[in-house]
Amino acid sequence: MLNPQEIELICSARHGDPFSVLGPHAQDGGLSIRAFLPNARQVEVIDACSGHRLGMLEKHHPDGFFEGVLALQASAAYGLQVQWDNYQTALIEDPYRFGPVLGEVDVWLLSEGTHLRPYEILGANQRVMDGVAGTSFAVWAPHAARVSVVGDFNVWDGRRHPMRLRRECGVWEIFLPGVALGARYKFEILAADGQVLPARADPYARQAELRPATASIVAGMPALKPPSNERRQANALDAPMSIYEVHLGSWRRILDPASGWQRWLNWDELADQLVPYALDMGFTHLELLPVSEHPFDGSWGYQPVGLYAPTSRFGDADGLVRFIARCHASGIGVLLDWVPAHFPTDAHGLGNFDGTPLYEYADPREGFHNDWNTLIYNLGRTEVRNFLIGNALYWLERFDVDGLRVDAVASMLYRDYSRKPGEWIPNRHGGRENLETIDFLKRMNDIVVQERPQAVTMAEESTSFPGVSRPTTAGGLGFHYKWNMGWMHDTLQYMARDPVHRQHHQGEMTFGLAYAFSENFVLPISHDEVVHGKGSLLGKMPGDRWQQFANLRAYLGFMFGHPGKKLLFMGCEFAQLREWNHDQSLDWHLLDDPQHAGVQRLVRDLNQLYRATPALYQLDFVPAGFEWMDHQDAAHSVLAFIRRGLDARSFILVVCNFTPTVQTAYRVGVPQPGEYRERLNTDSAHYGGSNAGTPLGAATAEPVGWHGQPQSLLLNLPPLATVVFEWTA
């Protein structure tokens, strides 16, 4: 019989190797079968094939430890007929008779750091073992003294299902027969110091409860989505990309009659409403603020706990799959905000996961974000890189996401980010760069290119770190695109100035062209510009109501003419008056006002013009696609430039007047003779403007040299407006 001390350790849930005790064990005379079943009165062994009774197990501990020796082969399949204290009976499978969950190759790849899809074996995965259906559980917790699965299926009792430790890779595993989809669960961890930690959610869970509940939920695996050449072309560097950035919880809400509260739309409702809206507005892509599970609404998803679980706020993973499929069927791409920069300290999350700093750096000078009160991933750890790179592929391959916009890259790249001297630890060379992050980002981007070449990655990187959107083979980080935070800051600063002062700050609008082709830039007017007391985009514009709207329209026209892909946060497309509030729907009623409706019509027309005009997107990232006609007329706050596409014979002329004065008979140099026809005028009455401009919307070039060009046009420039002309021979 078993050593009483080991029995006591099993009963108190302090045995570190339960499979060495529980289940079947060959010995002289047959098979010793041991089971720990709290609240059981008696246990009988049943032949799994015939249903015949094979023998009783003897109770050796009042808490429910049973043992017996039966004349069976070691490989015998059996079940346990249990009579509980309430005299009810149940036939159950013994999880301790099943072999290991992880295969040897999986263990090797996990340890080596080359398992690209660890989510296929870690977490909760439905499977069949020895002909029995159930769920396998596996979690990385190398320093734990004991890990148990707790859940609906075992009354959340950590004594009932302690797991097996695979010491080769630090993963605890168990197969639980009969556990089905929808079961709630967590991991109960006994730390090495003897402390039972608060139950942890599964880092690899594919579904989680809606806050404030925190359990993980056994969920199915979305099917792999086949590659698409159509999506690859739509995401290419020379394709039009106009992104509508959306916070799903506040884009639009509807009244719930039962509660009287405005509720979120679910995935199918979003597919029915958001997709047609984006299509009608002419956007090429949606970018969703993070949809990974997060406990606090006010983080907007940027403090995720469940990176693999689509938030339950809008429905389940299947709903998200349907939503993305609807987007693609409409020709709209889907980008996700993705957060490998930090994670929150919630007790059920990743922090101090097994009683030690596992996912985060141990030293707070490396592992804690002072700005956000969050923890920082230790990207020097093989298993952490596995976790994050696997997550990137999970979204791209299983949900068919077109790309990932990586949040807060600058905070990842620098060890002294937002830290005073003495509050950070230099790298091994004594520098401030985080070398582990650089290696991680390069590897992540390389793997995306290798495994999902149709997808793109974007970096929100606010510094001048070199080569962010250059291939790793050329020494870059390997992103496809980089947000141009400098352009956004400078140009909004200019637009906020009273027009009378703009003549002294013309460089704020032109400086972006000094470095425009050093990276593959996205021009972002994002959610960050309309929160935290910054006001709305319209509210940044100076002057009376008419001038505010005119300034905004002129700015949007300038943005769409400027080199770089476009991004606009929801609400900006119709000039929302108030600052964005994540707890409220956008103010759609403003579209009853002609001025707001005019801005919306302008954005729709800008998108249509942009998508229909290769000169505005094909050569975004090479100098040949752009040429200044004039950027020196600061006295009149006028800018004029040309955009070209692959067909050098066609081009677009963009002229901006950032004063409230009509500039009559204004001469602009052009490179070719012929007619220049107005394609768009942000001062059109159709958009709420004054309808000023060049008579008949066209001008013919004259052989008068100007701005270094052999030809020139005489134009009437509308006040606070951008005008786009197309050259025709």
* Catalytic option among 460, 508, 573, 726: 460
- Report in angstroms the alpha-carbon separations of 343 from 191, 302, 303, 361, 683: 21, 8, 5, 12, 46
For the question of residue 366 being annotated catalytic, the response is no
Q: Are 25 and 73 in contact (CB under 8 A)?
A: no
Q: Are 122 and 171 in contact (CB under 8 A)?
A: yes
- Which contacts qualify for 383-388: CB closer than 8 Å, 24 or more apart? 383/110, 383/113, 383/140, 383/170, 384/359, 385/113, 385/440, 385/443, 386/110, 386/113, 386/115, 386/118, 387/118, 387/203, 387/204, 387/307, 387/359, 388/307, 388/340, 388/440, 388/444
Side-chain-facing half-sphere of 594: CA atoms under 13 Å: 7
In this structure, what token pair is assigned to residue 340? 């490998």
In this structure, what token pair is assigned to residue 707? 């701005």
- Report in angstroms the alpha-carbon separations of 461 from 440, 465, 524, 547, 660: 15, 8, 12, 33, 35
Position 638, amino acid = V
**What is the C-alpha to C-alpha distance for residues 533 and 41, in angstroms, rounded to an integer?**
65
**β pairing state of 53-61 and 171-177:** unpaired
For the question of residue 460 being annotated catalytic, the response is yes
In this structure, what token pair is assigned to residue 450? 């290798």
* Catalytic option among 287, 354, 407, 620: 407
Q: Are 207 and 309 in contact (CB under 8 A)?
A: yes
- The full DSSP string for 510-534 is HTHHHHTTSS-EEEEE-GGGGSTT-
What values do phi and psi take at 131, rounded to 5? 80, 5
Q: Are 713 and 676 in contact (CB under 8 A)?
A: yes
Catalytically active residues are 407, 460
